[in-house]
């Protein structure tokens, strides 16, 4: 029986294989089946209270958030967060910003939907637009971003594209965030995250929200401001410049906020293995 369970473990399957096995590789708005709402329901607010009680009450996790004054009022912006080192990062992001306007995460369906009840809960509460890597291209994610931003919500992306890497600096960012910013005209708010590479009772973590930047501001002299054709070589070149500059901004902030999250080796690390590998 144990051997059978190991063979069926989702982690051994590629995301697209997992999607096909489950008979559901639907992404973005097609999976959601409705327009993304900007308001947080009573269920969403109740879950926030519960998660805050468990995380910051029972487990005594400590989160220092700075820079909230930089958040644009009324939503309509892209939140680009790094570094992504743990399953808890989306929850940290949600606690870094107000419950409204509602954040919508572009996230991995292969990771989030390993349990059917989680998928049903996320579908009911919203806040996630799934991606099945190996599936379609960026176009439907641009469509999803336009719907979220047009509703006055927040479109959340973790541009590293995966979990893993050094705790004090981002891995090379993917260009999707820049392409979406170019095509929607929405500003990007960088969010630096540090301290979540391992979790245990009393773990210290930190987040820093940075001033919003438009694609034009990030591209600088590399772009004359003329909107390039979608999918063109020019668009990809400008997106690469934007991505590199966004990475540099996040890298500097992460390097500054990470050291205070590091505990001395003598500090007890209760439940470290269980909490770090919860999902």
pLDDT of residue 18: 57
Residue 107 near residue 131 (C-beta atoms within 8 A): yes
pLDDT band at 5 (very low <50, low <70, confident <90, very high): very low
Nearest one of 241, 228, 131 to 183, comparing CA atoms: 228
Q: What is the pTM of this model?
A: 0.89
Instruction: Say whether pLDDT at 134 is over 60.
Output: no
Phi, psi dihedrals of residue 85, rounded to the nearest 5°: -125, 0
pLDDT of residue 22: 59
Q: What is the dihedral of CA 115, 33, 80, 254, to 10 degrees?
A: -10
Instruction: Say whether pLDDT at 2 is over 60.
Output: no
Domains, the chain, ordered by start: 2-276 (3.40.1130)
pLDDT digits (tens, 9 = 90+) for 92-124: 999 999 999 999 999 888 888 878 888 899 999
């Amino acid at each position: 029986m144990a051997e059978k369970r190991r063979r069926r473990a989702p982690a051994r399957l590629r995301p697209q294989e997992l999607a096909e096995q489950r008979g559901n590789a639907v992404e973005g708005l097609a999976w959601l089946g409705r327009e993304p709402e900007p308001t947080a329901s009573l269920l969403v607010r109740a879950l926030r209270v519960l998660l805050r009680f468990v995380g910051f009450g029972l487990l005594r996790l400590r989160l220092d958030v700075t820079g909230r004054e930089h958040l644009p009022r009324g939503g309509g912006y892209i939140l680009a967060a790094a570094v992504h080192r743990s399953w808890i990062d989306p929850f940290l992001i949600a606690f870094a910003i107000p419950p409204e306007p509602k954040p919508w995460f572009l996230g991995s369906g292969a990771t989030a939907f390993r349990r059917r009840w989680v998928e049903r809960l996320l579908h009911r509460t919203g806040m996630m637009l799934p991606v099945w890597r190996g599936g379609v291209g960026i176009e439907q994610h641009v469509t999803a971003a336009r719907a979220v931003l047009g509703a006055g919500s927040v479109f959340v992306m973790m541009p590293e594209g995966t979990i893993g890497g050094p705790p004090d600096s981002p891995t090379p960012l993917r260009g999707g965030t820049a392409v979406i910013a170019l095509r929607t005209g929405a500003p990007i708010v960088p969010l630096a995250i540090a301290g979540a590479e391992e979790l245990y009772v009393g773990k210290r973590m930190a987040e820093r929200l940075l001033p919003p930047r438009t694609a034009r501001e990030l591209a600088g002299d590399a772009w004359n401001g003329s909107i390039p054709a979608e999918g063109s070589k020019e668009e990809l070149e400008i997106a690469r410049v934007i991505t590199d500059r966004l990475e540099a901004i996040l890298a500097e902030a992460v390097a500054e906020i990470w050291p205070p999250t590091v505990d001395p080796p003598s500090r007890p690390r209760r439940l470290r293995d269980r909490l770090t590998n919860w999902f």
